[in-house]
Amino acid sequence: MTPPRSLVSILTWRLIWVALGVVLVETILVIHEYGVSLDPHNWHELGSEFVEHVLVGALPLFAVTAIASIMAVRSGLRGLRRAASEVAALNLDRPGSRIATEGLPAEAATLVNAINGALDRVEWAFADQRAFTGEVAHDLRTPMAVLRLAIDDLPAHLQPRFSQQVDAMARRVGQLVTLAQIEARPGSVGEAVDLAALAADLTARMAPLALDRGLNIAFDRQDEPVVWVQRDAIDSALQNLVENAIKHAPEGSEVTVRVGPDAVVVVDDQGPGIPSALRQRLFGRFERGQAQADGGVGLGLAIARRALEASGGHVEITDAPGGGARVILRFPKHIPVTP
Amino acid sequence: MRVLLIEDNRDLTGLIRDGLSRHGFAVDCAASAAAAQDAVAAADFDLVILDLGLPDGDGRDLLRDLRRAGRHQPVLIVTARSALGDRVAGLDAGADDYLIKPFAMDELLARVRALLRRPGVGLDVALFCGNLRLDSANRTVTVSGQPLDLGKREIELLTLLLRRQGKVVAKEAIESALYTFDEPVTPNAVEALISRVRRRLADAHADVGIHTLRGLGYLLRGDAQ
């Protein structure tokens, strides 16, 4: 495929050719009209007629028109350049991002509207797929429940191996359902949530699991921020982070959930920590190679990230003091409207 | 103890019924909301286990109908719906607890027993965990059958923790349950009480532990868990 040529350069060359053509035609007309013969003695006369009719007459007019055309095309193209950079910067994870048609010539606007339409279809396809995944995952829970109870009837020495597998499957299925639920409601109206109360309840619910693994779990209430979020999504996000921490913390160590200062929730563990190289990778939805052996950690972080983005916040991964992983949920602070 | 299991999946119904029967519960099954209404009208149950996804209606509507009809036995919802909003809606509809599929039989049994332990319900009289046993009627505590001498407040604390064994009891909840308005509660009063009870339990070789969850409260569970 030949590389595309600049419209401005095509236009400019066309105009130059047209200008030359105009000069040629005008010259022929001048010769014809004034009956000036072509022999060298008349070239002086030919020359002055030429200057009078072509250079002073037609050409300046043509030049002004040509310059006006080139400027119009260039300004139209500037709008296209802006649109192109918007497309390049599109974040498909933020549903609803579209390209603006302001400042574009109508012909380019047609193309941009077609692109926006394609983006709509892509989003609907994603949403359908997410909903489908969520439904399938949800449906898996009943057969898994049957399986889990049937395992309880196995001889005791066989149970742990099977129950661990089912529990691991159950965690993944639960995460798929959660992710589908969060992504199915990207623009949902949130509600005012007492973050410290939510985090305290969640931590208390997770306490038995922590104790089962021989860990301590503690809650540190340093603030009482109110945030505007989807409660379900944040609860699921925090639950996944605490589950991750519990999975990685060594026996006898402590997992801490802290709220504040300001609108943050911080989950610390004393495990091996998350190496920097992996931190950005872990924010993809399902990193290949990572998904296999991480026991749902990657998916848990993806859930946290989507839940926070839906609420206008973000997630940071860093190191807990003394080693271990620290995951920070940062929320935009909600300013309650006083009546 | 008579349990009504409202569940439409036949495999699940069979497994739950067998598991509960093995632990001394008499289980009746209903596979639809209509069948459940009939069962409840025909007999008195001590506890209801309810799956929300019934073929002829949402379990929560059935629950609301039951409550409105004056049936107040404890209800344990068993479901695949896991979002916090679903849990809250279930509890608001009148459920007492909420268990997400899949679950182990032990977990189901623990939840059932916890619900039957509530004051005024079924197994209220004797609370036990491991080799610790508390008779809440005459306020006596025994460890492996040997009586343990505890003060009034210590017994009240143990009662509170035993009723909610396996779950966190908030420090504030303990304070308000144990201390009246005209007794100033010093910040460390509860911690000191807990320490005393821990020591007494350890001296008596009780196989239960009271865990401190900093910033939350306390939790009693068997050491074997």
Q: What is the ipTM of this complex?
A: 0.84
- Inter-chain residue contact A152 with B105, CB threshold 8 Å: yes
Dihedral sign of CA atoms A277, A281, A286, A287 in order: negative
- Name which of B9, B82, B107 is nearest A176 in CA terms: B82
Q: Are strands A314-319 and A254-259 parallel, antiparallel or unpaired?
A: unpaired
CB A200 within 8 A of CB B216: yes
What mean pLDDT do residues A229-255 have?
92
- Sheet of B75-79, strands arranged across: B26-30, B2-6, B47-51, B75-79, B97-100
Q: How confident is the model at residue B83 (pLDDT cuts 50, 70, 90)?
A: confident
* Residue A6: other Cβ atoms inside 10 A: 9
Q: Is there a cis peptide before residue A275, judged by omega within 30 degrees of 0?
A: no
Per-residue pLDDT at A290 exceeds 50: no
- Inter-chain residue contact B85 with A231, CB threshold 8 Å: yes
Per-residue pLDDT at A286 exceeds 50: no
Which run of H or E residues covers position A163?
helix A159-184
Q: Which residues of chain B from 20 to 79 reach within 8 Å of chain A, CB to CB? A: none
- Inter-chain residue contact B9 with A208, CB threshold 8 Å: no
> Could you report the per-residue pLDDT of B178-217, keeping only the tens digit for each?
887 777 778 788 999 999 999 999 999 999 999 999 999 9
Classified as helix, coil or strand, A315 is strand
CB A302 within 8 A of CB A294: no
Provide the terminal-to-terminal Cα distance of chain A, rounded to the nearest Å: 65
- Name which of A247, A182, A209, A225 is nearest A329 in CA terms: A225
> Which of A71-80, B79-88, B204-213 reaches the highest mean pLDDT?
B204-213
- Using alpha carbons, list the distances in angstroms from residue A273 to A11, A207, A211, A294, A326: 60, 21, 21, 13, 8
Distance from CA of B138 to the nearest CA of A (A): 30
- Inter-chain residue contact A149 with B166, CB threshold 8 Å: no
Q: Is A329 left (phi over 0), alpha (psi -120 to 50) or beta?
A: beta
Instruction: Answer whether A147 touches B (CB < 8 Å).
Output: yes
Higher pLDDT, A294 or B1: B1
What single-letter DSSP state applies at residue A6?
Answer: P
Range with lowest mean pLDDT among A242-246, A274-278, B79-83: A274-278
- Inter-chain residue contact A166 with B105, CB threshold 8 Å: no
Give the one of B84, B104, B166 whose C-beta lies nearest to A163's C-beta.
B104
Structure tokens at A163: 């129950």
What mean pLDDT do residues A81-92 have?
82
Q: Where are the alpha helices (DSSP H) in B23-151?
A: 33-42, 59-68, 84-92, 105-116
CA pair distance B50, B77, nearest whole angstrom: 5
- Inter-chain residue contact B83 with A147, CB threshold 8 Å: no
What count of CB pairs under 8 Å joins A to B?
Answer: 97
Range with lowest mean pLDDT among A74-78, A133-137, A140-144, A185-189: A185-189
CA pair distance A107, A282, nearest whole angstrom: 42
- Search chain A and give the residue with CA nearest B11: A146
- Inter-chain residue contact A211 with B101, CB threshold 8 Å: no
> Could you report the per-residue pLDDT of B105-159, keeping only the tens digit for each?
999 999 999 898 876 655 556 888 989 999 887 889 999 989 999 999 999 999 9
- Inter-chain residue contact A203 with B80, CB threshold 8 Å: no
Residue type, A274: I
Instruction: Answer whether B91 touches A (CB < 8 Å).
Output: no
* Residue A306: other Cβ atoms inside 10 A: 22
- Sheet of B146-148, strands arranged across: B126-129, B132-135, B140-143, B146-148
- Search chain A and give the residue with CA nearest B87: A232
The rounded Cα B77 to chain-centroid distance in angstroms is 13
Structure tokens at B199: 């020591």
> Could you report the per-residue pLDDT of A17-56, keeping only the tens digit for each?
888 888 788 778 877 776 656 666 667 777 777 777 777 7
Distance from CA of A144 to the nearest CA of B (A): 6
What single-letter DSSP state applies at residue A50?
Answer: I
Instruction: Answer whether A64 touches B (CB < 8 Å).
Output: no
CA pair distance B207, A63, nearest whole angstrom: 100
What mean pLDDT do residues B47-68 have?
92
**How high is the pLDDT of residue A336?**
57
CA pair distance A310, A230, nearest whole angstrom: 8
